Structure 1
């Protein structure tokens, strides 16, 4: 097994995120099964001349090679209770069937399209299938979602926090929208849901400027997508921004200068008015002195 894996590793460059990876189609993206059942995953590609399909199991960021299909010739790894069927040619379906699932069968499974060659050639990954073997006694449970407003004493940029909790299993994803437009800038989501007892929890943070948060009526929307075994359900929460006058540096300097100018004008006016009053008093005193004479 190790020798075969090394041979494939040295003769194949595994690539993800490439434009050709978009031509590798893996289904389903999510899958639940029970212990003792089987799970079937399909993969196809539309890359010219490619005729080999590689299969991997990822657990805790470690890839385990499961086998490969060369055209219609399957070669599963020995000692693994799996079956490869179909064809690895362009436009055909290649399927991986895992028999008699156990709890440790839970993982992310990947297919990768490649070209059979004695030389190094790139292999392009599919998007992966997250398989969970359900634990006995635990029911599939959708998350509860809440959004926490920024702390009042937080200076500068504001951080909104979306918390999804109480769900099982961990087939969940989180996204943010501002005024119905999906945003990714300023978003930080936990790499994986954290388990606490029988259930999971995941947190996502959205960081925005003061100007954005203090815009009356602006909507901040957290959308949590959860796979329940038959389809996807969404739990959504929306909060609105608060109105507050937030000045930019230029605006603050302009207002400060305007205030200084207004204050200076007021002082000048006060001086003029004081001088005018003093002049009137002097005139009145002069007039009174003449009458006395």
Structure 2
């Protein structure tokens, strides 16, 4: 039925644009979705949200000329603005000031005349992701048991996993006590895409001597550089043993 309404609008020559058929945003970002059309007698734009797994469309609010009215439950995080007056093309926008993961949904706009004729436009599929993560996985305690090598030559493997990125412009490098290292490093040739979340992850492995891992003075760091218009650096560090038990992790984030 939704597609029938949209096709009806096209058959009448209605030029309609709702920005972004797909949006992927991080939690905390600000989101803007725009709707424009050329019918000068359509003075109302309504905005709807369709949550994942729900066939119902919930009314977020509407714009009448320049006056916005929000429904309860949407007043805190959502905003509507625009100008539907005059005899020029009409435009309206839906804003989510600080987007959250439960705002992931499909969004539609609906333009209405005073005679109640209407057209539904969209959709915009918004996916909100958790913050990107970088973590180092400790070596398995069983890793050396199957290695038939002389004592002192046995190996341990650290695994750095970076996940929750979009797009796939990610690079990884390792440091040992603050110095870059490449020996024993094997990184995925390309980031892998999760077809459900549409986000990317990449894995890098550092293989080192077991005695190097068990030296309590050694610190191993994984650095990930992510680019989505600006460069953002993520890093996390791990010590083999800290005060005799467990591992100490450090995490930092910088944007440049």
TM-score by length of 2: 0.47
Largest Rg, 1 or 2: 1
TM-score by length of 1: 0.42
Greater share of helix: 1
Greater share of strand: 2
